[in-house]
Amino acid sequence: MLINIKTNAKQKVITAAQELMTIRGYAATTVDDIIKLAGVAKGSFYHAFKSKEDLAIAALEDYVKKGTAIVANGPYVNIEDPVERALAFISFIEQKSHELWAHGCLLGSISIEVADSYPAVIKCIDELFDQFENGIESILSPALAARGVVGISGRELSVHFLAVIEGSIITAKSHCSPHLLQDGIARFRHYLMLLLAEKSTE
């Protein structure tokens, strides 16, 4: 289990929710399931959260915070050349893909399920994906500009990259082949290398 007995009750509940909702989905995860895994009293749950929906939002935000902390410490941050930095960033995500998404993506799992039923949750997911897109765009746009690439923007490419990640997570899980996640990101890296290939001068 992912629960650390030294964490406080609120964090235990958040961690339990992240684990269960990633595996089972939002609707199939009950408050009773969460507090049982967290090892806390139901009163502790309602002291920290107004509802399961409120918890889901906290769990999503915490999930992104943890993932962002992992990605933000990659060696690519010290590379000045924008093209090398962009390629090193994708390589780092590729290397960390198992650590980040071995059990699936909480945002992707919940977004499919709650899109039409829980507007506050889907609004949170939309904002968090937007946050990811902004971060990726800030790395890819300078690389595209450095090579004079036209026809695709850094924003469009960042959305594409997230689609590759989410699709690769689903493919890896559906085929019970974890390596397909890393392979999907590697194929995007190869595509980016071609896109950023230095143009020959005549």
How far, in Å, are 147, 189, 192, 196 from residue 157 at the CA level? 15, 12, 9, 12
Which pLDDT tens digit goes with each residue over 63-112?
999 999 999 989 999 999 999 999 999 999 999 999 999 889 999 889 88
Q: Report the pLDDT value the prediction gives residue 92, as an integer from 0 to 100.
A: 98
Band (pLDDT 50/70/90 cuts) for residue 3 is: very low
Is residue 101 within 8 Å of 181, Cβ to Cβ?
yes
Residue 61 has pLDDT above 90, yes or no: yes
Token output for 54? 């409120």
What are the φ and ψ backbone dihedral angles of 51, each rounded to 5 degrees?
Answer: -160, 175
Q: How far apart are CA 82 and CA 88, in angstroms?
A: 10
Question: Which residue ranges form the domains of the chain, and what is each CATH number?
Answer: 1-49 (1.10.10.60), 56-195 (1.10.357.10)
Is residue 129 within 8 Å of 107, Cβ to Cβ?
yes
Q: Report the pLDDT value the prediction gives residue 200, as an integer from 0 to 100.
A: 36
DSSP assignment letter at 200: P
Q: Report the pLDDT value the prediction gives residue 128, as an integer from 0 to 100.
A: 95
Q: Report the pLDDT value the prediction gives residue 198, as an integer from 0 to 100.
A: 66
- Stretch among 5-9, 25-29, 59-63 having the lowest mean pLDDT: 5-9
Band (pLDDT 50/70/90 cuts) for residue 117 is: confident
Q: How far apart are CA 12 and CA 55, in angstroms?
A: 12
Is residue 140 within 8 Å of 189, Cβ to Cβ?
no
Q: How far apart are CA 20 and CA 7, in angstroms?
A: 18
The distance from CA 33 to its chain's CA centroid, rounded to whole angstroms, is 24
Q: Report the pLDDT value the prediction gives residue 97, as an integer from 0 to 100.
A: 95
Band (pLDDT 50/70/90 cuts) for residue 2 is: very low
Band (pLDDT 50/70/90 cuts) for residue 201 is: very low
3-state secondary structure of 4: coil
The distance from CA 38 to its chain's CA centroid, rounded to whole angstroms, is 23
Enumerate residues 6+ apart whose C-beta is below 8 A from 185.
Answer: 90, 93, 94, 97, 164, 165, 168
DSSP assignment letter at 152: S
3-state secondary structure of 5: coil
Q: Report the pLDDT value the prediction gives residue 7, as an integer from 0 to 100.
A: 56
Which pLDDT tens digit goes with each residue over 120-159?
999 999 999 999 999 999 999 999 999 999 999 999 999 9
